[in-house]
Amino acid sequence: MTIFLLVLFYLLFPALIIYITRNFSLADKIGAVAIAYGVGLIFGSIGILPARSEDFKILLGNDFMLPADQAMKLYETGKITISDLLRNKISSLQSTLNDISVIIAIPLLLFSLDLRKWFKMAGKTILSVLLALLSVIIVVYAGFFIFKDKIEDPSSVAGMLIGIYSGGTPNVAAIGKALEVDPTLFIVVNAYDIIIGAFCLFFLITIAQRIFLFFLPAFNREDDTGENILIRKETSDIDDYSGMFKRDAVFDILKGLGLSLVVVAFSAFLGTLVPKENETTIIILSVTTLGLALSLIPKINSLKKTFQSGMYLIIMFCLIIASMADLTNLFRIEYLEIFLYVFMVVFGSLFVHVLLSMIFKIDADTVIITSTAMVYSPPFVPVVAGALKNKEVIISGVTAGMAGYVLGNYLGIFTGDFLMGFL
């Protein structure tokens, strides 16, 4: 019964989170992802789930769970308790749901992208995206060599931080899974990103424009073309979950889900063709590449609500992985360097981005909206555009966010694997 109720909680609670964010402005500003992390951390830390005994913790070592047959043998010999056995089953369930939600979500998120249209409209936005990516690469790599002897699994942390600044949570989730990051380390990095990111977002929507205008040109407003208006209309519902239960949307979601499962199955097959240590990486890169390829097919690209369905699974992932972590871990002194590394990446990347934009004469509003889209994902674009009093940059922001989704997984996984050679 405990397992059944836990599955229902993970599957259905994201719907409540979405409902709250759509109906309460404060929750909407906080964001569904941050709320999911918060609820998950509380849920995993207040004693609802069975606690591990000290003996079980010693047997686990750095592992999150044991194979079911091994755990049963330990229970039968009296080395662990019935509560430990149940907790091990719950951990196995969490890990399985965690893997499934991310892998299926990636193609769903990508199916709705119209790459040809985004890159046709890009102009200076693509240049700003490239400068933003160059900025985060410079800062992440510099930070790696500063902190590599002070933090746990520094190459994987570096890979995740690339994802944080190139698409946000969906990319970080995929990169963390590909690099097989420890769940506690994953949630620590993400929790610090949420905390530091909140201050960065506040900066971007308040005084950033006035400060950046001292160094960067002002936005050149132009009359909207028909194509601009059409794209704006198409992107206005990127964070709109309404109508998902209408008949035509349900059929499209089921089609998208079926296609995503086919992509995952084929990618899993490819994973069996490589050494075990590279299997997860190949699967993640394969579902990303195939999702992009299928998005070029008009009938797939036009399926309704596939992006929102993918984000629902990402919210579920955030809820699950946060509940796998211990809230007290966030305040351990040995994680101070991780906090500093995340701080360096979030604000340092923005600083370098501004410096490079001065050289290439990118305007202040485009820099701000590009950074917003890549760090916080496209749903935050309208919020910041409203604060800038410049709706014309919505197109630029969504373009940047989509480019981040496309490039982030590749860059993050490459970074994690490449930097591992320096340890």
Rounded distance between C-alpha atoms, residue 404 and residue 164, angstroms: 10
- On whether the CB atoms of residues 95 and 64 are closer than 8 A, the answer is yes
pLDDT of residue 79: 81
Question: 318: closest CA among 2, 3, 18, 4?
Answer: 18
Residue 347 pLDDT more than 80?
A: yes
Quote the radius of gyration of the chain (alpha carbons, Å).
21
Residue 324: helix, strand or coil by DSSP?
Answer: coil
Residue 333 pLDDT more than 80?
A: no
Residue 353 pLDDT more than 80?
A: yes
Tokens of 292: 């992009």
Strand (E) or helix (H) holding 20: helix 2-23
pLDDT (tens digit per residue) in 114-166: 666 655 655 677 788 888 889 989 999 999 999 998 898 899 999 989 887 77
Residue 218 pLDDT more than 80?
A: yes
Report for 221-225, 234-238, 288-292: range of highest mean pLDDT? 288-292
pLDDT of residue 43: 85
% pLDDT > 70, the chain: 84
pLDDT (tens digit per residue) in 270-293: 888 877 766 777 887 788 788 888
**Rounded mean pLDDT, 221-226:** 50
In sign, the C-alpha dihedral spanning 245, 251, 256, 260 is positive
- Biggest CA–CA distance in the chain, Å, is 76
Rounded distance between C-alpha atoms, residue 70 and residue 56, angstroms: 12
How high is the mean pLDDT of the chain?
80
Number of separate helices (H) and strands (E) present in the chain = 21, 0
pLDDT (tens digit per residue) in 91-118: 888 888 887 887 888 788 788 776 666 5
**Rounded mean pLDDT, 54-63:** 72
- On whether the CB atoms of residues 361 and 367 are closer than 8 A, the answer is no
- On whether the CB atoms of residues 374 and 100 are closer than 8 A, the answer is no
Task: Flag the least confident range among 53-57, 168-172, 252-256.
Answer: 168-172
pLDDT (tens digit per residue) in 73-84: 888 888 888 888
Rounded distance between C-alpha atoms, residue 45 and residue 29, angstroms: 25
Question: Which pTM value belongs to this model?
Answer: 0.70
- On whether the CB atoms of residues 327 and 129 are closer than 8 A, the answer is no
pLDDT of residue 141: 95
**C-alpha torsion angle, residues 100, 302, 25, 390 (rounded to 10):** 130
Rounded distance between C-alpha atoms, residue 239 and residue 18, angstroms: 10
Give the pLDDT band of residue 262 (cuts 50, 70, 90).
very high
Which long-range contacts does 68-75 make (Cβ < 8 Å, 24+ apart)? 68/92
pLDDT of residue 395: 64
